[in-house]
Structure 1
Amino acid sequence: MQFLAKYNTLLQQSPLLTKSVTGGFMFFAGDAVVQAMEAQIAKKNQQAHQYDFRRLGIAWLMGNVFMMPLFHYNFTYALPWLVKRLPFDTSTPFRAAVGSVLIDQSVWACYILCHYLMIINVLESGSVQKGVDAIKNNFVKAMITNWQIWPAAQIINFWLIPRHYQVLWVNFVGFFWNIYLSYISHN
């Protein structure tokens, strides 16, 4: 409980910084899990494996700099504004959550997945073409997987989680999602 109280204080004092640092840690942790899995597979196949610390740094950078600021501004400002303009009644918390999920899983998820695939590949390879290829090769499969996980996670988020904790919830669910994204980006 003391951790949550401290997190709450940081969230009130510096919401963007707190969400960004948390996101960077979660992206880093997700890639660390994938690299540990890769090490186990290599060991089982009697192959050498070396941890890629640059890749871990890029994962941290993705969460901290390239993703969480977008989530912060989307959940704090853009999404509430858009939901109020939907052509159906969003006056109850559940209806507002449904509207949020519709926007989140149509426009936002497509954008953020392309954003992730492009930037992670450009940062790792220095090649925009690698980013374009990653989108071509992984987008459809990743989007289908996204739709199997995120609508349920986001209905919980937008209906039950207070707005100031919504990015934290996304980071929690996103830890497992980042494992998947890291895996498809590197295998």
Structure 2
Amino acid sequence: MATLNNYHHVFTTTQKQTKPIKFTKPLLLSSSKLFHKSRNSCKKQYPLVKSVAEDKEFVTEKISVVVEHEREEENGSEDEEEEVVVKNEFVGKAINACIVLGFGTLGVTRLLTIDHEFWHGWTLYEILRYAPEHNWIAYEEALKENPVFAKMVISGIVYSLGDWIAQCYEGKPLFEFDRTRLFRSGLVGFALHGSLSHYYYQICEALIPSKDWWVVPAKIAFDQTAWSAVWNSIYFVVLGLLRFESPENIFNELKTTFLPLLMAGWKLWPFAHLITYGVIPVEQRLLWVDCVELIWVTILSTYSNEKAETRISDTTSDVDPTQ
């Protein structure tokens, strides 16, 4: 009984101590409150998203600044290159003008001052009157002393002038000619044409010494077949070597221009050589031929450089895949 009483006592005391749980507010979550909480949670995460967007904008701005800087550098380099090109063109024009004016002044001065040692008491009319005659006498004396060298100098001058005329004929301004091309042509005239032509006219006169009427046509025919073929070939081969071209290119250029040039010469030289072989003495023939060469060198130089430029442009178009 004592045990039951004790158990009843413990149960009653625990039952008295425990109080029922009372809910003062109902446990209901409305949809508006739930949306409000989710919105607040999104507001808490928004600063992180905002920082990422700001970083992207910063990186984009930085890249744009770098690109603009690179463009400015490229534009600056292009401007510098254009300035360098303009300066080089100006320097080239100045050098060409000095060459033309210098050699022109020197030549005219030498021709006009041939009698400067005897000018004492001379009038201007007397100076101009005797200058051509005395220059011709000086030329004949030079032919007697050293005929080959005198003819080499004349041919070099004529071929340089002919190439200059050819460049002007091709559309280049007066002081914008190619100095290297001018030098090549003058070198060929000086080193080869003057000396070879001197010996050619001597040999031609020795082979056909007759004075009959048929001699002039025979010499013209030989000149416009054998000699023209030889000299045109020499001219194109040597110019190609001076341009450092390959033997294949030189041979192709010679093959394509051989007959056109030979036939073009038939329109000019037979009429000129009527005077060459019919009137002019042997020692004076090259001077007359060189005067006509001013026209012929223009044709030769134009043919040669047109072929070279065409070949260079074709090579460039074959190499460049965008062409």
Query: How does the TM-score come out when normalised to structure 2?
Result: 0.51
Report 1:1-187 matches (<5 A): 1-40=133-172, 50-76=176-202, 78-84=203-209, 90-92=210-212, 94-187=213-306
Q: What amino acid sits opposite 2:207 in the alignment?
A: L
Structure 2 residues not aligned, in runs of 5+: 1-132, 307-323
Q: What amino acid sits opposite 1:10 in the alignment?
A: A
After TM superposition, the structure 1 stretch with the greater mean CA deviation from structure 2, 117-126 or 139-148, is 117-126
Deviation (angstroms), 1:39: 4.2
Contact map agreement 1:153 1:173 (CA 8 A) in 2: yes
Distance in 1 of aligned mates of 2:140 and 2:148: 13
CA pair 148-39 structure 1, distance change in 2 beyond 3 A? closer
Distance in 1 of aligned mates of 2:171 and 2:292: 24
Deviation (angstroms), 1:163: 0.8
Structure 1 residues not aligned, in runs of 5+: 44-48, 85-89
Distance in 2 of aligned mates of 1:28 and 1:130: 24
Distance in 2 of aligned mates of 1:12 and 1:59: 27
Deviation (angstroms), 1:72: 0.4
Does the residue aligned with 2:214 lie in a helix, a strand or coil? Answer: helix
After TM superposition, the structure 1 stretch with the greater mean CA deviation from structure 2, 115-124 or 171-180, is 115-124
Deviation (angstroms), 1:111: 1.1
Partner of 1:46: none
Distance in 2 of aligned mates of 1:37 and 1:75: 31
Deviation (angstroms), 1:118: 1.3
Q: Which aligned segments of 4 or more residues in structure 1 are displaced greater than 6 angstroms?
A: none
Deviation (angstroms), 1:51: 2.5
Deviation (angstroms), 1:50: 4.5
Distance in 2 of aligned mates of 1:38 and 1:109: 24
Contact map agreement 1:39 1:50 (CA 8 A) in 2: no
Please provide the CA RMSD for this pair: 1.9
Percentage identity across aligned positions? 24
Deviation (angstroms), 1:98: 2.1
Q: What amino acid sits opposite 1:179 in the alignment?
A: T
Contact map agreement 1:105 1:151 (CA 8 A) in 2: yes
Task: Encode CA deviations 1:144-164: one digit per residue, 9 max, x unaligned.
Answer: 110111111112101100111
Partner of 2:62: none
Task: Encode CA deviations 1:121-149: one digit per residue, 9 max, x unaligned.
Answer: 22123432232122112111111110111
Distance in 2 of aligned mates of 1:51 and 1:106: 33
Q: What amino acid sits opposite 1:30 in the alignment?
A: G
Distance in 2 of aligned mates of 1:131 and 1:4: 40
Distance in 2 of aligned mates of 1:5 and 1:81: 26
- Greater Rg, structure 1 or structure 2? 2
